[in-house]
């Protein structure tokens, strides 16, 4: 039975990945900060899908949390989903420096280190996959969040190309606005976001797994967002920034 490790696993896209992979008969390793919530979710998955579920409480913005998950990945997994992340309610440079550094540690350092920790066992077996959750925001200028997600996209594409092994895939997943706890946790006002731009987490995961099977290094779920990214390539960066600021992160 294959094993998948998912960070940020108790809500939103992380929980949707857990449900999908459990339905596909993966054993799961769930990583998040809230131990009691992890345990409750693990019990639900075991009961519904009959798969093995291991919980690993860890804060990936800390050295101890990162080290614990690196150690678990050293034992080997078939699929790693780097999903943990958060957003800031304020604009740069209003956000405190400590919060900015925490975001970069979680979005960039954790993705780098966990990817590197997962790869040795995958290379020994000659197979495996890593999904690094980025965002459509990666293609548009919008503060540290967009910048960190742009790094995730570039890193994933570069790492996938450097591996040169079609049986080991690294893919950046770039969804748009998804109905999750993300914006609420960040205390963001989403009233200005048009209703047609919202996606369902389960639909995003379904598209991600399809694109991963197809060997894509970047997945932009949903035709609406594919069109937005395509058009954005021809719009001046200053105009992108203005529109992005008006609609939201």
In order, the DSSP letters of 111-158 are HHHHHHHHHHHHHHHT-EEEEEE--GGGGS--HHHHHHHHHHHHHHHH
Helix (H) or strand (E) holding 104: helix 97-104
State how far the Cα of 183 lies from the Cα of 125, in Å rounded to an integer.
39
| 210 touches 120 (CB < 8 A) | no
Question: Catalytic annotation on 49?
Answer: no
State how far the Cα of 87 lies from the Cα of 114, in Å rounded to an integer.
20
Residue with structure tokens 């997994």? 77
| 59 touches 65 (CB < 8 A) | yes
State how far the Cα of 24 lies from the Cα of 19, in Å rounded to an integer.
9
Query: Which positions are catalytic?
Result: 145
């Amino acid at each position: 039975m294959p094993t998948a490790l998912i960070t940020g696993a108790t809500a939103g896209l992380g929980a949707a990945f857990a449900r999908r992979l459990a339905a596909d008969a993966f054993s799961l390793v769930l990583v998040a900060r809230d131990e009691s919530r992890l345990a409750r979710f693990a019990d639900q998955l075991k009961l519904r899908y009959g798969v093995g579920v291991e919980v690993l409480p860890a804060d990936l913005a800390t050295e101890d949390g990162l080290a614990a998950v690196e150690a678990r990945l050293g034992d080997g997994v078939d699929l790693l989903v780097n999903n943990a992340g958060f957003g800031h309610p304020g604009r740069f440079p209003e956000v405190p420096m400590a919060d900015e550094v925490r975001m970069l540690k979680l979005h960039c350092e954790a993705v780098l280190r966990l990817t590197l920790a997962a790869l040795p066992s995958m290379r020994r077996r000659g197979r495996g996959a890593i999904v690094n959750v980025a965002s459509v925001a990666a293609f548009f200028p919008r503060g540290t969040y967009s910048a960190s997600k742009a790094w995730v996209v570039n890193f994933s594409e570069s790492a996938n190309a450097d591996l040169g092994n079609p049986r080991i895939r690294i893919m950046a997943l770039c969804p748009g606005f998804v109905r999750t706890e993300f914006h609420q946790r960040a205390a963001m006002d989403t009233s200005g976001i048009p209703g047609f731009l919202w996606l369902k987490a389960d639909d995003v995961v379904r598209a991600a797994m399809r694109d991963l099977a197809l060997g894509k290094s970047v997945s932009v779920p949903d035709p609406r967002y594919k069109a937005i990214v395509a058009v954005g390539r021809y719009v001046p960066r200053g105009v992108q920034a203005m529109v992005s600021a008006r609609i939201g992160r």
